[in-house]
Amino acid sequence: MLTLTYEYKLIPTRQQVLDIENILTVCRKVWNFALRERKDWVNSRKCRVDACSLDQEYIIQPAISFPNYHIQAKNLTEAKRVIPELGSVNAQVLQQVLRTLDRAWDDIWKRGFGFPRFKKHFRMRSFVFPQLKGEIVKANHVKLPQLGWVNFHVSRAIPDGFKVKQARVVRKASGYFVMLSLQLDVNVPEVPFHGHPIGIDIGLESFLATSDSELVAAPAFFNSLHSKLELLQRKLKHKKLGSNNRRKLNSKIARLHQQITDTRKDFHWKLSHHLCDRAGAIFVEDIDFRTWAKGMFGKHTLDASFGQFFNILSYVCWKRGVFFAKVSKDYTSQICPECGALTGKKGLSIREHNCPECGYKTHRDVAAAQVIRNRGVSAVLGSHATCFKSAEPLFSVVASQVE
């Protein structure tokens, strides 16, 4: 099953905007109530019966089970009879809110995530219609439950044969968007190793370096607008809570953050296609960027958003039939890509690789990218590629034998 997600900008009417905001408000209230219910149950089981606090303590009867998704969904159905506001929103939308909370609760222990947070007014930004029936898209209109036919900007056509399975409405600083999940019942084989391989080494001086000696400068998306953002945030602290001026200034700050995010993502997409134009196989380092974000260069690392770039690059490679793989990151800057000799650690001030064994000289990031490429080819081709060097004719002979 092939699944794609296409995002379009909605052009809703005034009444549809009010309906969207009402749905987001009810979803936020359901989320907060369900989370409060779960936290109260946990707090009531925190201490022993003979060691309760003398000041205050949560008391919930022992016979009451933990309020999981199924219990809360059943209680939601019963609550609709006495709370008319809940009946104003599609039932499946509210059920998806409870499902999302249930996944977030499980991820605390399964994936080491933080505790789910209560949502303020602008923190509940999206909701999902999990099932769509009938004709969904017609010309520049999309039919959504409860909202009816909504105009949207057709930035790209939906591929032939794909069916729209669900829709997510998202509120951003620049307006409302719809994310359509498209499915096609086909089996997509994995991309085999083929063509010209390149290795990619990421860094701070340059955004990345390739094994073909290409250096891409770091755009510094956040730093370029940091002074403007600081000025707006300095003004914000003097605005009165709940005032219209504070709301307008918050909107400006949100638009600026979205501009940074959109510019960064656009750069990642274009760079990924640029790399795929020049390679049949791409190898990158297997890095945990969470540790990078905690170091002295954390701000620059988060600004570059290497994790997002690798995710986009892997998707573009899959879409365009380019082989993509990750290799070990260890000692990539301490090995000569030409002869394989250990050259020792290099300080950040040393920007050139100079091998004392074979005399090979190149930029240190390019040398690391060539080591990554050699590791990737060796891992894919096995012992046939252990002697792989930068020479293209040798690779062509090995690759032709594998094919």
Report the distance separating Cα 21 and Cα 16, nearest Å. 9
What is the torsional sign of CA 76, 77, 82, 85?
A: positive
Summarised one tens digit per residue, pLDDT across range 63-88 is: 788 899 999 999 999 999 999 999 99
Q: Could you give the strand order of the β-sheet that contains 323-327, starting from the edge strand earlier in sequence? A: 215-217, 206-210, 197-202, 281-285, 323-327
Determine the 3-state secondary structure of 338 from DSSP. Answer: coil
177/361: higher pLDDT: 177
Confidence of residue 294 (pLDDT cuts 50, 70, 90): confident
Diameter of the chain by CA atoms? 81
Q: What is the DSSP letter of 259?
A: H
Domain 197-221+267-402 architecture: 2-Layer Sandwich (3.30)
Cα atoms in the Cβ-side hemisphere of radius 13 Å centred on 231: 6
Which of 29, 14, 31, 12 has its CA nearest to residue 169? Answer: 12
Report the percentage of the chain scoring pLDDT > 70.
92
Instruction: Please compute the mean of the pLDDT values over residues 174-195 and round it to a whole number.
Output: 90
Pairing of strands 197-202, 206-210: antiparallel
In the chain, domain spans? 2-47+56-184, 197-221+267-402
Residue 58 confidence (pLDDT) = 66
Summarised one tens digit per residue, pLDDT across range 137-162 is: 998 999 999 999 999 999 998 888 89
Q: Mean pLDDT for the chain?
A: 86
What is the torsional sign of CA 85, 86, 88, 89?
A: positive
Q: Are 306 and 350 in contact (CB under 8 A)?
A: no
Report the distance separating Cα 321 and Cα 342, nearest Å. 35
Which of 230, 197, 193 has its CA nearest to residue 212? Answer: 197
Report the distance separating Cα 399 and Cα 70, nearest Å. 54
Report the percentage of the chain scoring pLDDT > 90.
50
Residue 92 confidence (pLDDT) = 93
Confidence of residue 9 (pLDDT cuts 50, 70, 90): very high
Summarised one tens digit per residue, pLDDT across range 14-49 is: 999 999 999 999 999 999 999 999 998 888 877 666
Report the distance separating Cα 317 and Cα 269, nearest Å. 11
What is the torsional sign of CA 295, 210, 207, 305?
A: negative
Q: What is the dihedral angle through the alpha carbons of 343, 345, 349, 352, rounded to the nearest 10 degrees?
A: 20
